[in-house]
């Protein structure tokens, strides 16, 4: 590194200078998201010492038990974003319906959708978890509250996507369409500092991430692909290494940096897959494409899917371009395992 300390705020301002029409409102919005993630990071890292581990006794729209930290992260993001005058509506993986801006606050032109604390079932075991977010411009007329229509936009329309991983260190990774940048939180002065400029994911990886306990529930082409990548063949660098934490942001972040493929296929148990299009697949697809990788649902590019409902699930195959291309050969049954 050149010795210069580039904070997230400085990076966003320098990025925004590339847009003559930029008003600084996006910079404020990103700073609010970063502030919320610092609060969440503090509580995730203190969870073991405070009475915020464990469950709230309630169940979310996904039918999953809500952890206290899930609820805290959701409320923290909402409170950080609902009053700044930059948003017109929000949607969260933890909230059944859209989150309107309270009447007493001004409306803005941005829409923010997020998974406040993905992978939270792992929290009690101290496994890294994460926040995932997307920012869109509103599509409904200004001056009125945003609506579900503003949230149901194709991933192609994202103006920003990012995630925060609360692990051995807290990192915020984001793109606005000009490359992918990673910032590490320096807890000594509470700033996100540029640590991974212009992240590019390897064209081909050595890692595959999938929950193989569902093998019998997958469609045949997926079974064929997994059998193929596990066969021993030095000439084609097989078998690949299996790495699966069960926390999407952790599995994705590792594969983004090292190369590889993450798969969450449809199955008899989850015919549309398990992961959510708005809060997980779209933001990570924007990031991986900006890093030179690919993301598909088995039939098309994730970013081209037209969402029909807030909590829509999707199959997700995401990672290194060559690994996705090989998978596509199996999914189109062009390739059979001998």
Q: Which residues bind ligand P6P (CB under 6 A)?
A: 118-119, 121, 211, 246-248, 251, 274
| In the complex, least distance from residue 147 CB atom to ligand P6P, rounded to whole angstroms | 27
Residue 40, Cβ density class (10 Å: 0-12 exposed, 13-18 middle, ≥19 buried): buried
Residue with Cβ nearer ligand P6P (118 or 297): 118
CB of 253 to ligand P6P, least distance (A): 12
Bridge partners of 53, per DSSP, are none
Q: Which residue has the tokens 């529930």?
A: 217
In the annotated binding site for substrate, the residues are 118-121, 211, 244, 274
Q: Mind giving me the DSSP string for 222-243?
A: HHHHHHHHHS-BGGGTBSPEE-
Q: How many CB atoms lie within 10 A of CB 127?
A: 15
273: nearest Cα among 311, 303, 316: 316
Separation CA 134–CA 89 (nearest Å): 12
CB of 241 to ligand P6P, least distance (A): 17
Kindly tell me which of 69 and 89 has the beta carbon lying closer to ligand P6P: 69
Q: CB of 248: closest distance to ligand P6P in angstroms? A: 3
* Shortest CB 118 distance to ligand P6P, Å: 5
Nearest to 256 by CA among 295, 201, 293, 325: 201
Closer of 80 and 210 to ligand P6P (Cβ):
210
Q: Which residue has the tokens 């599995």?
A: 251
Q: From the annotation, which residues make up the binding site?
A: 93, 115, 117-121, 211, 244, 274, 280
211 vs 237 by CB, closer to ligand P6P: 211
Among 69, 123, 113, smallest CA distance to 93 is for 113
Residue (146 or 273) nearer to ligand P6P, CB: 273
Contact 270, 304 (CB under 8 A): no
* Opening angle at CA 287, ends 127 and 320, nearest 5: 85
Contact 108, 27 (CB under 8 A): no
At its nearest, how many Å lie between ligand P6P and the CB of residue 88?
A: 27
| Closer residue to ligand P6P in complex, CB, 119/293 | 119
CA distance 172 to 160: 13
Q: Distance between CA atoms of 194 and 210, rounded to whole angstroms?
A: 31
Our CB check for ligand P6P shows the closer of 120 and 176 to be: 120
Q: How far is the CB of 200 from ligand P6P (least distance, A)?
A: 23
Residues placed in the known binding site for Mg(2+)? 93, 115, 117-118, 280
């Amino acid at each position: 590194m050149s010795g210069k300390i580039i904070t997230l705020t400085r990076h966003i301002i320098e990025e925004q200078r590339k847009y003559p029409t930029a008003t600084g409102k996006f910079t404020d919005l990103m700073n609010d998201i970063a502030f919320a993630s610092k609060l969440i990071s503090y509580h995730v890292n203190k969870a073991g010492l405070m009475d915020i581990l464990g469950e709230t006794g309630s169940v979310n729209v996904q039918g999953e038990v809500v952890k206290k930290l899930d609820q805290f992260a959701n409320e923290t993001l909402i409170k950080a974003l609902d009053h700044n005058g930059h948003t017109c509506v929000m949607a969260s993986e933890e909230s059944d319906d859209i989150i309107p801006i309270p009447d007493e606050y001004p409306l803005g032109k941005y829409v923010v959708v997020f998974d406040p604390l993905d992978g939270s079932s792992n929290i009690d075991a101290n496994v890294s978890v994460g926040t995932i977010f997307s920012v869109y411009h509103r599509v409904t007329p200004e001056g009125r509250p945003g609506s579900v229509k503003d949230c149901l936009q194709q991933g192609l329309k994202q103006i920003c996507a990012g995630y925060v991983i609360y692990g051995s260190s807290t990192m915020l990774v984001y793109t606005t369409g000009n490359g992918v940048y990673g910032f590490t939180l320096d807890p000594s002065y509470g700033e996100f500092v540029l640590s991974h400029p212009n992240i590019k994911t390897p064209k081909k990886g050595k890692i595959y991430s999938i929950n193989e306990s569902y093998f019998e529930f997958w469609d045949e082409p997926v079974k064929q692909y997994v059998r193929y990548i596990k066969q021993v063949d030095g000439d084609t660098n097989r078998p690949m290494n299996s790495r699966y934490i069960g926390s999407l942001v952790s599995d994705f972040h590792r594969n983004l940096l090292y190369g590889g493929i993450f798969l969450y296929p449809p199955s008899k148990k989850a015919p549309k897959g398990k992961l959510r299009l708005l809060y997980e697949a779209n933001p990570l697809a924007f990031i991986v494409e900006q890093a030179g990788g690919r993301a598909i649902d088995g039939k098309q590019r994730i970013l081209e899917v037209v969402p029909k409902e807030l909590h829509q699930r999707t199959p997700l195959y995401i990672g290194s371009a060559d690994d996705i291309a090989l998978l596509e050969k199996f999914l189109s049954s062009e390739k059979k395992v001998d």
